[in-house]
Amino acid sequence: MRIAVFPGSFDPLTSGHVDIIRRGAKMFDRIIVAILLNAEKAPLFTAAERVRLIREVFTDTPSVEADTFDGLLVDYVRRQQAHVIVRGLRAVSDFEYEMQMALMNRHLSPDVETVFMMPAEQYTYVSSRLVKEVASLGGSVHGLVPDAVEARLLEKHRARTSQKA
Ligand code: PNS
């Protein structure tokens, strides 16, 4: 059984993440999308909301699972009996951070391999941070996130603007 873990904050899941997960699902028997708990002090989506959205988007792909983790990623990977960490690489600017993480994880657990995948070109500029910023200012993120995420972002924006009014 080839099991991979795709870790991240996923606050929220973007179309770039979806692209990487779908590519990963072709390579592995199971791919666990693992949300790091407490990464940010004030996430826009709770961990439970993020798990729910990922499950909703991948209802058609049973090999894709959503979970949360705390502590060291390599410990979580070991508990899942996985040997691969999947990360997306969008641009050269991602490389330094990703290389440091991959080498640190290799130092901590030499039998865990990090596999980098590139998303489709149209997602190379998409990040959760920019998606949140644009959506919070009323801009369109259509196509940059799955429809279910877009709908939740719109709801959150409406709730905030009606509170202010
Ligand atoms: O989506 P992100 O925020 O870039 O994901 C970062 C993540 C969750 C992969 C990284 O912060 C992580 O693995 N954190 C767990 C703590 C850990 O294992 N740190 C040491 C290895 S770098």
- Nearest Cα residue to atom 22 of ligand 1: 101
Pinpoint the alpha helices (H) of 34-91: 47-57, 73-79
Count of CB atoms within 10 A of residue 73's CB? 20
pTM (2 decimals)? 0.96
**Whole-angstrom distance, CA of residue 12 vs CA of residue 49:** 9
For the stretch 71-119, pLDDT in tens is 999 999 999 999 999 999 999 999 999 999 999 999 999 999 999 999 9
Fill in the DSSP letter of residue 81: T
**Whole-angstrom distance, CA of residue 110 vs CA of residue 33:** 21
- Nearest Cα residue to atom 13 of ligand 1: 73
| Cα–Cα separations (whole angstroms), residue 151 to 18, 90, 108, 154, 157 | 16, 25, 40, 5, 10
